[in-house]
Amino acid sequence: MKRLLIALALPFPLLSGCFYPASRGHALEDKVAIENEQIRTELKDMKDKLSATLPKIDAKITEMTKALESLDRASRSSGADIGVRLQKTIEDLGQLRGQVETYLFKLSELEKGVKKVEDDTDQRLSELQGTDAAKAAAARRKAEDLPRPSDKKQFLALADSKAREGDLALARVLYGDFLKKWPKDELVGEVRFGLGETYYSDNKCREALGEYAKVIQEYAKTKSAPYAYLHSADCFGKLKMRDESRLALEEVLKSYPRSDAAKEARVKLAELDKSKKKANSGKQKK
């Protein structure tokens, strides 16, 4: 039993090629984070320069306004002096305006760069993850439009019905919502088993074993516990972990000897024995 629980607790990082490799995802996320940080640093620098320049423009505009307002009081100055001062102010203002336009252009280009990096990252992650992320998002949108029963048993029945209909992604959303709404309810064991079954039906043994392990370890008295062992055995078999598969089947017979699952376990154990004898016979002939 202890060996079986250890096996169920394994993360199985290399057992199935259909799963998204976390190491590649983390490396990609780190690279993108560095690129984004560099762009954001440059963007901040441009914004700081723009913030420092704008007060100068405001000051020049104020100075120019005062110069124009004082024209009628400048009779003691020559027209040439006023013209020179005004021209100098206009030139300074034009130079500052040119700097601001340059900064604004660079800011716009940097913001486009950040957006492109983020879009490229989302696309690359989606490609690595395959269609699972898209299916999950679509299921979440579908679940939002689905009327939800307030009664927990009816809620679970709804999730189970979606699983039986083959809408596995939607069923997973509903099971997950049940766990959020009633995390300590006595039905949680059945919910965990239902989640495991959706992964089992989707041929995702790693995720299925994770849910079955929770049923076995935390909800051993729930009615579906014998089948958590039984289907764990099937998953172990698919993963070529025959010893663990046998342990799971033997545990069904030991802990739930009168259950329907035990009848199936006996058949599967007989098949394992037959397969083992056939393999040994083949080795002896060689």
pLDDT level of residue 282 (50, 70, 90 thresholds): low
Proportion of the chain in helix, strand, coil states, percent, rounded to 5 = 80, 0, 20
pLDDT level of residue 35 (50, 70, 90 thresholds): low
pLDDT tens digits, 171-220: 999 999 999 999 999 999 999 999 999 999 999 999 999 999 999 999 99
pLDDT tens digits, 225-257: 999 999 999 999 999 998 999 999 999 999 999
What are 190-195's contacts with CB under 8 Å, separation 24+? Answer: 190/156, 190/222, 190/223, 190/224, 191/156, 191/159, 192/218, 192/219, 193/219, 193/222, 193/224, 193/225, 193/227, 193/228, 194/156, 194/159, 194/160, 194/163
Q: Quickly tell me which residue has 């079954």 as its tokens.
A: 197
CA distance 148 to 150: 6
Is 90 exceeded by the pLDDT of residue 126? Answer: no
The dihedrals phi and psi of 186, each to the nearest 5 degrees, come to -65, -15
pLDDT level of residue 99 (50, 70, 90 thresholds): confident
- Please check whether residue 123 is in contact with residue 154, taking contact to mean a CB–CB distance below 8 angstroms: no
- Domain 137-285 CATH superfamily: Tetratricopeptide repeat domain (1.25.40.10)
pLDDT score recorded for residue 159: 96
The two tokens of residue 250 are 């033997």
* Distances, alpha carbon 12 to alpha carbons 8, 20, 213, 279, in Å: 9, 12, 13, 26
Give me the mean pLDDT over the 9-28 stretch: 41
CA distance 115 to 282: 62
pLDDT score recorded for residue 138: 86
31-35, 43-47, 94-98, 211-215: range with highest mean pLDDT: 211-215
pTM here is: 0.56
pLDDT score recorded for residue 246: 94
Closest by CA position to 35, among listed 111, 127, 118: 118
Exposure string over 21-41, b if 16+ CB within 10 A, otherwise e: eeeeeeeeeeebeebbeebee
- Please check whether residue 205 is in contact with residue 12, taking contact to mean a CB–CB distance below 8 angstroms: yes
